[in-house]
Amino acid sequence: MSTLCGTEFEMVVFSPSGKAFIFSNPDLNTVLVPNTLLKTSHVPEANIHEVLVHAHREANMRMMTAQIDILEAQIDEEMLDNQTLREAERGKPSMSSLQLPELQSMKHRMKILYYQ
């Protein structure tokens, strides 16, 4: 990538256990030290690994927060659906209050739906 684009770059890959693997061209200090990442956080060069791990954790937190937002929206939608169903259910008579002809008619309609 460095040769094709003529740029300096660094790649950090985290294993499932959270261990960081770093590849950098030309080298880690050349790419990171002038970078604003270290200038803004005032971290000495010896703590580069800690900065990378912290950045990884923050990225994971942002991703998890987005997932939580999506799940909360789905929960809200399900709660609305549940409320709508409960309101619809209140308007229907219970099965025990139906007369025999109504129950037989319902059974016949259910058979028709089942075999379609």
Confidence class for position 36, pLDDT limits 50, 70, 90: very low
pTM over 0.75: no
- Examine residue 103 and state whether it is found in any structural domain, yes or no: no
Q: Is residue 60 part of a domain?
A: yes
Q: Are residues 1 and 23 in contact, defined by beta-carbon separation less than 8 angstroms?
A: no
- Count Cβ neighbours within 10 Å for each residue of 39-68 and write b for 16 or more, e otherwise: eeeeeeeeebeebbbeeeeeeeeeeeeeee
Confidence of residue 1 (pLDDT cuts 50, 70, 90): low
Computed over every residue of the chain, the mean pLDDT equals 76
Instruction: Tell me the average pLDDT across 76-104.
Output: 82
Lowest mean per-residue pLDDT among 43-47, 73-77, 79-83: 43-47
- Inside any domain, residue 72: yes
What is the C-alpha separation between 6 and 1, in angstroms, rounded? 8
Please report whether residue 108 resides in a domain. no
Under DSSP, the state recorded for 18 is -
105: in domain: no
**Residue 18 maps to a domain:** yes
Task: Provide the number of structural domains found in the chain.
Answer: 1
Q: Is residue 115 in a domain?
A: no
19-33 b/e with 16+ CB inside 10 Å = b? eeeeebeeebeebbe
Q: Which domain holds residue 12?
A: 2-90
Mean pLDDT of 33-37: 47
